[in-house]
């Protein structure tokens, strides 16, 4: 099977011109087929502020009321996505920007209200890879914005990490998939203050041990839960790194192992 | 050759929920393959206002400074485009939203400054239909936002009428193309106050006569210039109508004839 690298990058990297251009230089050099999944939260917060819409976050997640949904749709699927696409085209990389609504790629269900009402936030329910697989096999590079739809016309704000792992799992039957989470640290670290303490290989059991003893905390937990689930569903490699880890396509950082 | 209908609709129709839903109900019933090209100017003006960005229009064209380019990218390619796509998916129509940057679909050049500096406005220079033709032949329905790119990473605000005719011309070698311009009137009228005065068939010579004597004025002139150019380039039918003219797929209104 052909190699497909699905690279998820956080908002900050793609929202600043210099870091975006460096990222894309490394990204286009990756061997094999490629998908980029991006965020855009900082721009969404800035635009919301200018529009007089208050940004409410709970546990690092954006509470998405009707006006905020409009902002994230504009910013993620419009401003951030199309600028990345145009920048890739300038590098002779035939990119296509997609939300989960396009090609019915990713359907989600509006998150049920329990303790917290997250508003128009979607939890992924299905991935339709029929058309996107053909595009990828043709050398087209999908650039995915973290917006999904519910199949009834409603757009939903959706976690980009989850979208990346959902895509990876769904494409694992057609491609040999590398799922790479790029965030601000060079990998999963034993000591948050020591970048040399990156764990090279992490098993699920070791992850749970480090979660129990408080070494692995906060946003890294759902990222790793998503990552191990992808590994269990046939994704070849799952790597946690920062954008420096992309250079040369060696994917340095933490690799998840079974 | 298979029939492909390229429907261009103005901003107002797609920016109000009721008229959008009616349009899409008629649109999905059209026989054959389909493309929708849309505007979004009213929403762009509204969002600009809320962001404190002044909207400047000259001869009905938006002067697009750097901040306005961000707004039109967000609104056209994000908010308006993705809502149309999600609404089509809800009708079991496998839509894909595209700007001119996606798939390198439409390249433009930043308009040279003569009397007026339009800013980041693009004039179409090329259309790349390789990938989009395959999608169309697979039954996918492209929904095109009026944003292009220059091939060097710059996005450009581009006239939706011109994008529709450029697409029509480029696809005329692969499909039997109907190009349908939907606007607020039922067709080209001899008397602007009498909707019954719609000209059923209009030749280029007759158009120029009616332009010279002042019967055809303003925005209709570039629309017809675009339309006749498309007809000369192998587009099968060019029709000027309003959204009522779509119902049943008969395309009532004014048909351009050679």
- pLDDT at residue A18 greater than cutoff 80: yes
Task: Let me know: does A209 contact A218? Beta carbons within 8 Å.
Answer: no
Furthest CA-CA distance within chain B = 50
For chains A and B, count residue pairs whose Cβ atoms are closer than 8 Å.
Answer: 130
Averaged pLDDT, A192-197: 92
Phi and psi of B218, rounded to 5°?
A: 50, -130
Identify the residue with better confidence: B9 or A248.
B9
What pTM did the predictor assign?
A: 0.96
Task: Let me know: does B82 contact A101? Beta carbons within 8 Å.
Answer: yes
CATH number among 3.40.710.10, 3.40.190.80, 1.10.287.70, 3.40.1160.10, domain B3-257: 3.40.1160.10
pLDDT given at position B183: 87
Spatial distance between the Cα atoms of A54 and A77, rounded to a whole number of angstroms? 21
- Chain A environment of B85 (Cβ under 8 Å): 99, 101-102, 149
pLDDT given at position B175: 98
- pLDDT at residue B94 greater than cutoff 80: yes
What is the domain partition of chain A in residue ranges? 3-257
Spatial distance between the Cα atoms of B188 and B192, rounded to a whole number of angstroms? 9
pLDDT band at A30 (very low <50, low <70, confident <90, very high): very high
Averaged pLDDT, B181-203: 93
- pLDDT at residue A218 greater than cutoff 90: no
pLDDT band at A147 (very low <50, low <70, confident <90, very high): very high
ipTM of the complex: 0.96
Question: Percent of chain B beyond pLDDT 70?
Answer: 100
A99 and B97: CB-CB below 8 Å? yes
Task: Let me know: does B146 contact B163? Beta carbons within 8 Å.
Answer: yes
Give chain B's contact residues with A (Cβ, < 8 Å): 47, 50-52, 70, 73-79, 81-83, 85-87, 89-90, 94-99, 101-104, 131, 134-135, 138, 140, 147, 149, 151-155
Question: Which one of B28, B48, B70, B96 makes the best mutation probe of the A interface by having the most chain A beta carbons within 10 Å?
Answer: B96
Spatial distance between the Cα atoms of A189 and A220, rounded to a whole number of angstroms? 10
């Amino acid at each position: 099977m052909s190699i497909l690298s699905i690279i998820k990058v956080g908002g900050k990297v793609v929202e600043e011109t210099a870091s975006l251009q460096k990222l894309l230089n490394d990204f286009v050099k990756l061997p094999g087929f490629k998908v980029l999944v991006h965020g855009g939260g900082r721009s969404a917060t800035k635009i919301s502020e200018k529009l007089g819409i208050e940004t409410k976050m709970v546990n690092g997640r954006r509470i998405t009321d009707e006006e905020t949904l409009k902002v994230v749709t504009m910013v993620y699927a419009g401003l951030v996505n199309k600028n990345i696409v145009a920048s890739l085209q300038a590098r002779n990389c035939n990119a296509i920007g997609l939300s989960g609504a396009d090609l019915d790629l990713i359907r989600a269900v509006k998150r049920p209200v329990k303790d917290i009402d997250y508003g128009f936030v979607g939890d992924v329910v299905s991935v339709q890879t029929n058309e996107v697989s053909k595009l990828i096999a043709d050398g087209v590079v999908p650039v995915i914005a973290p917006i999904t739809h519910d199949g009834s016309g409603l757009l939903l704000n959706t976690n980009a990490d989850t979208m990346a792992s959902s895509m990876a799992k769904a494409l694992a039957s057609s491609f040999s998939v590398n799922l790479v989470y790029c965030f601000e640290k060079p990998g999963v670290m034993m000591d948050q203050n020591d970048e040399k303490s990156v764990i090279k290989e992490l098993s699920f059991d070791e992850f749970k041990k480090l979660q129990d003893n408080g070494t692995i905390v906060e946003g890294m937990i759902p990222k790793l839960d998503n990552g191990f689930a992808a590994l269990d569903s046939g994704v070849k490699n799952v790597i946690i790194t920062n954008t420096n880890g992309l250079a040369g396509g060696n994917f340095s950082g933490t690799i998840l192992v079974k």
